[in-house]
Amino acid sequence: MPDRETMPSAPAPEVSERAAALPQDALRTASGYAFTGPALHLGALLWDGQCLPDAQIRVPLAMLNRHGLVAGATGTGKTKTLQLIAEQLSAQGVPVFLADIKGDLSGIGAPGRQDARVEGRAGDVHQSWTATGFPAEYYALGGIGRGIPVRATVTGFGPVLLSKVLRLNRIQEQSLALIFQYADSKGLELIDLKDLSAVVTFLTSDEGRPELKTAGGLSAATAGVILRSLTAFEAQGASGFFGEPEFDTSELLRTSEDGRGVVSVLELSAVQDRPQLFSTFLMWLLADLFHDLPELGDVDKPRLVFFLDEAHLLFDDASEAFLESIAQTVRLIRSKGVGVFFVTQTPKDVPADVLAQLGNRVQHALRAFTPDDQKALNATVKTFPESPYDLAEVLTGLGTGEAVVTVLSEKGAPTPVAATRLRAPESLMGPLGQDALERAVGESALYERYAQAVDRESAYERLARGRGAKGPDEMREAAPREPRELREHREHREDERASAVEQVVGSGGFQSLARPVGTQIGREITRSLFGTARRSGRRRR
């Protein structure tokens, strides 16, 4: 059942009578959080080293689709903060997605344990704490880990995201987009990685080379780089992430029978050594939702809220085009009722264009042990509105479970900066036991739908039939390899060639490849900002 403290209630007074006795600056700060509509409770105001429980710090439910940032040094309580927010969203009927990189968020599905620390925190902030578990589904990328397997087809994933995973440069990314367009136009379904390898190999063979002649062709050097990158990618165990059944992201929008939002926990601890993959996979989930959700405009509550932990991994080594796509997706998906919270160590981990769109901020403690730490601290202070606090001093002195907060008010204006002692989560603060987790996964209604991988006929099988049924390794070996002595010359000229490829992509010959020709794919050729393909037909929700 929804938490009694987060249920919609009658308009609250501006501040309580006892809070009215606060110092003027503290009273002004507290008044900035006295919202009249439904809101989530974050904690109580800290002022001059004292916790003031009558001055409650909250965030309006309607503003949670304006995105947010939870930042702070390791061990300062970021994970517990996102768990606290996720619980209250679920209680308000809002589905939540959690990227569980460290493996300690699965406990949200079980009631918490009351102890002296929880009791002390609840007493400090006037929280009526009740041990509560929330409806949860547990997922794992490609079934690596304990969870319902989440897979995507190569076609659904698209060339832009795949280029980031493969660490392709600009010209190689554009060539990969050309390959995807060709496969679409010819009905060659790219389900898994061997399908993509087969198409690349075919397009550099004597038989396939003329196919892209009008669009500038595919150079042997670029094809070789793509194929070698795919081989290395598969060697990391990535094959299981691509295939069918492809995960339907509308599953993330469900509510339970009692009206609470389902919390979808994607376990990523088993793939921590592949950060490029899981961070990019998260953007696929977001991009796929962006395709299919209708515009809502301003809403009383979000349709879904994403929490992307270790958010810096999204932006590390990213191309300018990829960063622009992230910024544009974050900007546009708000009107579809989806909020995105980035969880990372410092605001500088997030590009300025994205950071500017994050209206809700929860900043935990920062350290200033080194000159670089001091620079990061100073940069963080500059991102906050002016306030009576000495933020540099406050941010280095916060304890675990304390943070500096500013959110968007019901009118969309930033609230005063408030040092806050945060509430304690009511669900289990730690991982669910292995037996309980496996039982929850096995009993899920989604398990039967996604557990078993399916390998049906696609591009690899069709092309192999026409080429003597060679295996994937043989097909890769058939691709021309780039002579080592030409590599430096190629790299020197790639920037010059990039502009020429851009012209080709916009040419009439290339565009003709993108016209539907009655393929068996059943997908729209039109792709999103990230190059991901739309599903045909109606969704389950």
CA distance 214 to 217: 7
Which pLDDT does position 299 carry in this prediction?
Answer: 85
Which pLDDT does position 17 carry in this prediction?
Answer: 58
SS3 at position 301: coil
Q: What is the DSSP letter of 533?
A: B
| Other beta carbons within 10 Å of 316 | 10
Q: Supply 189's token pair.
A: 């379904």
Produce one character per residue of 508-517: b if its CB has 16 or more CB atoms within 10 Å, e if not: eebeebeeee
What is the maximum alpha-carbon separation in the chain? 85
How many residues does the structure list for the chain?
Answer: 541
Q: How distant is the alpha carbon of residue 478 from its chain centre? A: 38
In one letter, which amino acid is 229? Answer: S
Which pLDDT does position 16 carry in this prediction?
Answer: 58
Contact 262, 137 (CB under 8 A): yes
Contacts of 375 (CB under 8 A, 6+ apart): none
SS3 at position 516: coil
CA distance 41 to 84: 9
**What is each CA distance from 421 to 26, 40, 108, 390, 404, in whole angstroms?**
14, 14, 21, 17, 9
Look at residues 214, 177, 45, 189 and name the one whose alpha carbon lies nearest to residue 529.
177
Contact 59, 39 (CB under 8 A): yes
Contact 34, 55 (CB under 8 A): no
Contact 405, 30 (CB under 8 A): no
pLDDT in tens, 356-397: 999 999 999 998 889 988 988 998 999 899 899 999 999 999
Phi-psi region of 341 (alpha: psi -120 to 50; beta: other; left: phi over 0): beta
Name beta bridge partners: 402.
Answer: 421
Look at residues 473, 467, 449 and name the one whose alpha carbon lies nearest to residue 193.
473
Which pLDDT does position 161 carry in this prediction?
Answer: 87
Q: Supply 156's token pair.
A: 């659904």
Which pLDDT does position 324 carry in this prediction?
Answer: 82
Which pLDDT does position 12 carry in this prediction?
Answer: 45
CA distance 215 to 198: 20
Look at residues 341, 362, 358 and name the one whose alpha carbon lies nearest to residue 99.
341
In one letter, which amino acid is 512? Answer: S
CA distance 332 to 116: 44
Phi-psi region of 317 (alpha: psi -120 to 50; beta: other; left: phi over 0): left
DSSP assignments along 478-505, one per residue? TSPPPPHHHHHHHHHHHHHHHHHHHHHH
Composition of the chain by helix, strand, coil, percent to 5: 45, 15, 40
CA distance 366 to 27: 26
- Residues of the chain predicted below pLDDT 70: 1-21, 215-216, 467-531, 533-541
Q: How distant is the alpha carbon of residue 424 from its chain centre? A: 25
Contact 276, 319 (CB under 8 A): no
Look at residues 197, 216, 272 and name the one whose alpha carbon lies nearest to residue 479.
197
Name beta bridge partners: 342.
Answer: 69, 308
**What is each CA distance from 77 to 70, 343, 362, 400, in whole angstroms?**
10, 11, 11, 6
Give the torsion sign (CA, 118, 124, 130, 136).
negative
Which pLDDT does position 498 carry in this prediction?
Answer: 40
SS3 at position 259: coil
For the whole model, what pTM was predicted? 0.83
Phi and psi at residue 491, to the nearest 5°: -60, -35
Burial class (CB within 10 angstroms; exposed 0-12, middle 13-18, buried 19+) of 408? buried
Torsion of CA 509, 514, 518, 522, to 10 degrees: 170
SS3 at position 40: strand
Burial class (CB within 10 angstroms; exposed 0-12, middle 13-18, buried 19+) of 519? middle
Which pLDDT does position 440 carry in this prediction?
Answer: 95
Strand 402-406, strand 360-363: pairing: antiparallel
Give the torsion sign (CA, 453, 456, 461, 463).
negative
Which pLDDT does position 502 carry in this prediction?
Answer: 42
In one letter, which amino acid is 423? Answer: R
